[in-house]
């Protein structure tokens, strides 16, 4: 019996999904540890970046792992603050106070002039 070979088409699928016409909806989750200065900076930096580059096409959930520690293990978070981009694929993680805008934009597959 001949073996069938399946070609990995995930890159092609993602490219077609991006080019489908409507801009992608971003699903983001930011894990923080209480009201520390670093956590506050991460929330502020991320909200400013999202409003500037993803206005109206993102959802952001902020999870305080002091209040919900089970969510940290569920999200496989080992450092805080951590941003997890669930959609559009691929899943990506960013650690820190989100102040390196160029790194975040690159990781979110956004150009500086995307709006």
* Per-residue confidence (pLDDT) for residue 18, from 0 to 100: 55
* Per-residue confidence (pLDDT) for residue 91, from 0 to 100: 95
Is residue 90 within 8 A of residue 14, CB to CB? The reply is yes
* pTM value surpassing 0.85: no
Long-range contacts, stretch 54-58, CB < 8 angstroms, 24+ apart: 54/26, 54/108, 54/110, 55/115, 57/23, 57/24, 57/25, 57/26, 58/25, 58/26, 58/27, 58/28
Mean pLDDT, the chain, rounded, equals: 86
Q: Could you tell me which residues come within 8 angstroms of residue 103 by beta carbon, excluding any fewer than 6 positions away? A: 94
Note the pLDDT tens digit of each residue in 32-88: 999 999 999 999 999 999 999 999 999 999 999 999 999 998 889 999 999 999 999
* Per-residue confidence (pLDDT) for residue 105, from 0 to 100: 96
Whether residue 88 is preceded by a cis peptide bond, meaning omega within 30 degrees of 0, is yes
> What residue ranges define each of the domains in the chain, with the CATH number in brackets?
24-107 (3.40.30.10)
- Going by the DSSP 8-state scheme, the letter that residue 100 receives in this structure is -
């Amino acid at each position: 019996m001949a073996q069938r070979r399946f070609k990995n088409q995930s890159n092609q699928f993602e490219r077609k999904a991006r080019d489908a016409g409507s801009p992608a909806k971003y699903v983001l989750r930011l894990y923080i540890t209480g009201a520390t200065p670093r956590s506050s900076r991460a929330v502020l930096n991320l909200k400013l970046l999202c409003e500037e580059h993803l206005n109206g096409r993102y959802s952001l959930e902020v999870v305080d792992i002091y209040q919900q520690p089970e969510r940290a293990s569920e999200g496989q978070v080992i450092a805080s603050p951590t941003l997890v981009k669930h959609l559009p694929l691929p899943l990506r993680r960013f650690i820190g106070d989100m102040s390196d805008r160029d790194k975040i934009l690159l990781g979110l597959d956004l150009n500086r002039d995307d709006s």
